[in-house]
Amino acid sequence: MFDNLINFNTTFGQDLKFNALAGFEYWKSNYNTSSTTAQGFDFNLNYLQPTNALYTDVMQDAKTLTPTNTFQDIETEVQSYFARVEFNYKDKLYLTGTFRADGSSKFGANNKYGYFPSVGAKWNLANEDFMKDNTVVSGLALRGTWGITGSQDFPAGASIDQYGFPSNGSAVQFNSGNPNLKWEQTDQWDLGLDFSFMHSRLSGSFDYYNKDKTNILFASTASAPFPQSAIIWQNLPGHLINKGFEITLSGSIIEHKDLTWDLGVNFSTNDNNLTDFFAPGTKNPLFIQTGTIDGQGVSGTLGQAITNNQTVDVYNLKTFGGFDQNGNQIVSQNPVIGGNPNPTKLFGVSTTLRYKKLTLVINGGGSSGFLIYNNTATSVTNISGIANGRNIDQNAYNSAESKSSGVAASQRFLEDGSYFKLRNASITYSFGNIGNYIKNLNLYVAGSNLFVITGYSGFDPEVNIDKQAKGYPSSSIEYIPYPTPRSVVVGVNFAL
C-alpha cells in the first residue's frame, strides 16, 4: 500500500473556513496457497515409547501422499486519485465536494478507470439568529447529498480468459474474458432532516433516498461458442432503482437519579424496481429466470425472474385454483409474474430501563411487505408424504387435498413473510465492589431470539437460503433451513 495526502486549511475573513485535501493511493495484492495431504502413519503407535523424530519430514512415512495442490490468484492493482473541498460559513452553512478517479486491473482492457463525483450541503438552522432564543428546539438541520460510487466486488481475472487442469493432460476454460467489463455505478441522492428537542432529550432524523444502480456486475454461464463450463462476467443493462425513506427517533423518557428509561425506534421503506432492462440495441425486455425450487417432482423448476419493470427476483409461478372433485390440486399450464420477495418495510426498537442497580436492555426488529415461497411445504411436508409415514404440513392435512394430488410448484406456497423478532434481551444486577478483593461484580441473564411473531408457517421467516441459478441471485425461498437458535445465558463477571 502506498498513500500520499496533502491538506490545506485557511480562513477567508472571520466567517468562512476552507479545507482542501488531495491524494493518491495505490495498492497491490496477490494470494496463493500450496498444500499436501498425507494419510496412514505407523510411527509413535506406542504412546508409552514415542520415537524422537526431530528435524524429520514425517510426511515421508505416509502410506498415501497426494500431489501438491496449489492455487495462484491473479494479481490485483488499484490506484486512485481523489480530492475534496469543504466550506463552513459561521457553522451555519456547509458545502462539500469530492471527486475520485479509481483504476483497477480487474476490469477489461477498455474500461480500467471509473470517475466518481459527489456533493453535499447542510444548513444548520439551530445556529441561525432567529433560533437563538428558542428554548424547545435544541438542534435543527437540513441536508442534501448527491454522488456516484463504484464497485469492483468480483474476482480478480474475471475480465480475461482463464483455464484449469482438472485431470492429467486436459485443459478446460473456466472463465471467458470480457475486455469491456467496467465499474458498476450507483447514483444516489438523499434529502434529510436532523432534529432534537428539550436539550436533546428527544432527537431523530428523517431521510428520503433514491439509488440508481447501473452497469450491474453479474456472473453467469457463458453461451456458445464458449465452453458450457465457462463463467462470463458482464455488465447488465438497465437501472436498478431503490428508493424510500428512513426515520429514527430516540428519547430519554425518564431521567432520574434512581430511574432512567431510554427508547429508540427506527422505520424505513424500500421500493425496488428494475427499468430499461432490454437486450442491447433493442426494446425487447430481458427475462432471466432464477430461484431454484428443490424436491422430487419439481427438480429443475425456477420460481423467480429478473425482468423489466419488476422488482428484482419477482415470483414467476403457476397459479393455484384449489382442488378438483378428486382432491387433486389445480394449477395453470404456464407460470405468471406476481409477488414481491423483497421486504418493503423494515423496523426496529431498542430500550434500556435502569432502576438503581438493576438494568434491563431489549432490542428487536423485523420486516413486512413481502412474500416467502415455502419450498419445504412443496416437497418435504406435502400431503403425499403421509403414505410413507412422514410428517406433513398442517395446512396440507387440513385442506381438501388427496394423497394422490402430486407435487407442483405454484403460488399456493407463497406466504406473507411479515415478522417481528425479539432479538436480544438482558437483565443485569450490579453488586459493585464486594469486600476488598472483588470489584465490579455483575450478575446477568441474557437471551437471544426469544420469540418471533409471524403468520408464516415455515421454520423461520428470516430466510437466508441461497437459491441462485446460473449465478443470478434469488431471495425469500425457504427450503429446510436450520432455524435461528434460541439461547439463554446466565453469567457473572467481576475483577480482582
Query: At residue 486, what are phi and psi to the nearest 5 degrees?
Result: -100, 135
User: What CA–CA distance (Å, rounded) separates 309 from 314?
Assistant: 10
Query: At residue 466, what are phi and psi to the nearest 5 degrees?
Result: -85, 110
Q: What is the pLDDT of residues 232-249, one digit of tens each?
A: 888 888 999 999 999 999
Examine residue 166 and state whether it is found in any structural domain, yes or no.
no
Lowest mean pLDDT among 63-67, 94-98, 220-224: 220-224
Examine residue 462 and state whether it is found in any structural domain, yes or no.
yes
Structural domain that includes position 327: 247-496
pLDDT at 74: 86
Examine residue 47 and state whether it is found in any structural domain, yes or no.
no
Examine residue 29 and state whether it is found in any structural domain, yes or no.
no
User: What CA–CA distance (Å, rounded) separates 451 from 420?
Assistant: 8
Mean confidence (pLDDT) of the chain: 91
96, 88 Cβ separation under 8 angstroms: no
Examine residue 7 and state whether it is found in any structural domain, yes or no.
no
> How many domains does the chain contain in total?
1
Determine how many CB atoms are found less than 10 A away from the CB of residue 241.
17
What's the predicted TM-score (pTM) here? Answer: 0.85
Query: What's the whole-number mean pLDDT along residues 83-92?
Result: 96
3-state DSSP of 90-153: CCCEEEEEEEEEEEECCCCCCCCEEEEEEEEEEEEHHHCHHHCCCCCEEEEEEEEEEEEEEECC
User: What CA–CA distance (Å, rounded) separates 459 from 454?
Assistant: 11
Burial class (CB in 10 A: 0-12, 13-18, 19+), 64: exposed
pLDDT at 223: 66
Residue in this structure with the C-alpha cell 465492589, named with its chain if needed: 433
Query: What's the whole-number mean pLDDT along residues 192-216?
Result: 94
Examine residue 474 and state whether it is found in any structural domain, yes or no.
yes
User: Could you give the 3-state DSSP secondary structure of residue 156?
Assistant: coil
- Single-letter amino acid, residue 493: N
Examine residue 348 and state whether it is found in any structural domain, yes or no.
yes
Examine residue 371 and state whether it is found in any structural domain, yes or no.
yes
Host H or E run for residue 7? strand 2-12
Residue in this structure with the C-alpha cell 465499474, named with its chain if needed: 183
Q: What is the pLDDT of residues 281-313, one digit of tens each?
A: 788 999 999 999 998 889 889 999 999 999 999
Cell of 102: 479509481
Cell of 73: 490468484
Residue in this structure with the C-alpha cell 456486475, named with its chain if needed: 217
Q: What is the pLDDT of residues 157-203, one digit of tens each?
A: 888 888 877 777 778 888 888 888 999 999 999 999 999 998 889 99
